[in-house]
Amino acid sequence: MAADPVEETANKLAAVSTEDEVEEGKAYPAKATELVNEDTDNQVELKLDVSVNAELYHAVSTFDDLGLHADLLKGIYAMGFKKPSKIQEKALPLLLSNPPKNIIAQSQSGTGKTAAFVLTMLSRVDPANPATQAICMAPARELARQIMDNVQAMGKYTSVTTGYAIRDAVAKGEKVDAQIVIGTPGTIMDLIKRRQLVTRDVKILVLDEADNMLDQQGLGDQSLRVKKLMPPTCQILLFSATFTDLVRKYAETFAPKANQLSLKREELSVEGIKQFYMDCKDAPHKVVILCSIYNLLTIGQSIIFVHKRSDADNLAEEMRNQGHVVNVLHGGLDSTARDAVIDGFRDMKFKVLITTNVISRGIDISNVSLVINFDLPVDQSGRADAETYLHRIGRTGRFGRAGVSINFVHDARSLQTMKEIEEHFGRPITRVPTDNLMVIEKTLKKIVG
């Protein structure tokens, strides 16, 4: 029997064994009113599948043009949306068209991609049918919870029911009784296998941060297995801020005959983020410098990225020993602790968060003004990981706001990694002496205001 080409492709992609490890290895939309940057002037490229009659396709300029139910429109306007963003103008008519079409959409945060697929899920649900009709998968529980916040806000005036499929959210043997289910691939797969989640009536399957999930064998395999258990008529939507060429090819197989929307490549940049680097003497000196700039970290809110969970724990301990207030977030924490940390950071109960890549994608904390790459991101071969770098520093400077990133280098290898990132984006990263931080302090104070 011939091998399934999609599954074969998934097995060739980067090998990561568990869901939490995948979260660590790779960068979530925020308060609903911040999902659209109305000032953006990004150019949207639309690639229609050959089966679509382009002459019948029209973009929209208002949400009222979409023929949505009044209760859903009420929720949209209550969230503060005034009109569709650039990508929504073109995406929503395709997302909501009948018969449903698969979509692959690439758009950076702040362009309304989350609101677009949330609106689509809500509009597809038949209120008279209590069965699960929409499933959205995200690579980490933090993003799943954030998406749920937006589903519940937009669907506030509807009767649509929602439920989680994340670790510790569903008791053993308990049925998932919700029309829209948001979760992570591994947990969703487990619930389906245990017959706690029934997919018979699912009309729409959404993958957010799809490039991350399809590019990781752990999440990629799980996502593929979930997809295979959907009805053949299920609409598949893949959304992400970035797609490598390899992952895009796989996405095109995962979502056959998909219409594709994307921002032009040059729009996916680090513009608006002031990038600096500090040349430390060695690894221990990085800790010394980080502690010495703690006053900069607390001008606004700051996120410090490290390679591993143990690195995060050790760095936090060293900083606390010197009297600094920091918190840690990584996949090794239990569900309750993870939720408490991200909620506390979002509510500004503390200002400095040390983390792995578990929140490098999609999470928006509106007051983050500084991102520190204590360890620069590298891929499994040790080369600079420019995509993850973009997602990391994108935790600041979101939705058109300004931001600052500081990269720590301490040897020839880390300096080379930074140079590769610099070359990839074609933008200089300014060196700042470790004993003269005035330029960074002035920049941060100007941003925070």
The amino acid that residue 36 corresponds to is: V
Peptide bond into 99 cis (omega under 30): yes
Which fold would CATH assign to domain 273-448? Rossmann fold (3.40.50)
Res 112: pLDDT:
77
- Nearest Cα neighbor of 320 from 355, 348, 345, 352 is 352
Tokens representing 68?
């949505």
Res 42: pLDDT:
42
Res 22: pLDDT:
40
Q: What is the pTM of this model?
A: 0.69
- Nearest Cα neighbor of 392 from 408, 380, 381 is 408
Res 401: pLDDT:
62
Burial of residue 313 (CB within 10 Å: 0-12, 13-18, 19+) is middle
Q: Using CA atoms, how far apart are residues 207 and 224, in angstroms rounded to an integer?
A: 11
Q: Which residues contact 192 (CB under 8 A, 6 or more apart)?
A: 199, 226, 229
Which fold would CATH assign to domain 5-266? Rossmann fold (3.40.50)
For the chain, report the end-to-end CA distance as a whole number of angstroms: 64
Which residues share a beta bridge with 205? 135, 236
pLDDT along the chain (449 residues), means of 10: 42 36 37 34 48 54 90 93 82 90 80 87 96 95 92 96 92 92 94 95 94 73 91 94 80 89 58 86 94 87 94 95 93 88 91 86 76 93 88 71 87 95 89 81 71
Which residues share a beta bridge with 14? 216
Spell out the domain ranges in the chain. 5-266, 273-448
Q: Specify the length of the chain in residues.
A: 449
User: In angstroms, what is the C-alpha Rg of the chain?
Assistant: 22
Considering all CA atoms of the chain, what is the largest pairwise distance in Å, rounded to the nearest integer?
66
Res 158: pLDDT:
97
Res 270: pLDDT:
65
Q: Do domains 5-266 and 273-448 have the same CATH topology?
A: yes
Burial of residue 138 (CB within 10 Å: 0-12, 13-18, 19+) is buried
The amino acid that residue 38 corresponds to is: E
Res 247: pLDDT:
82
Res 400: pLDDT:
55
Res 236: pLDDT:
96
Tokens representing 99?
């018969």
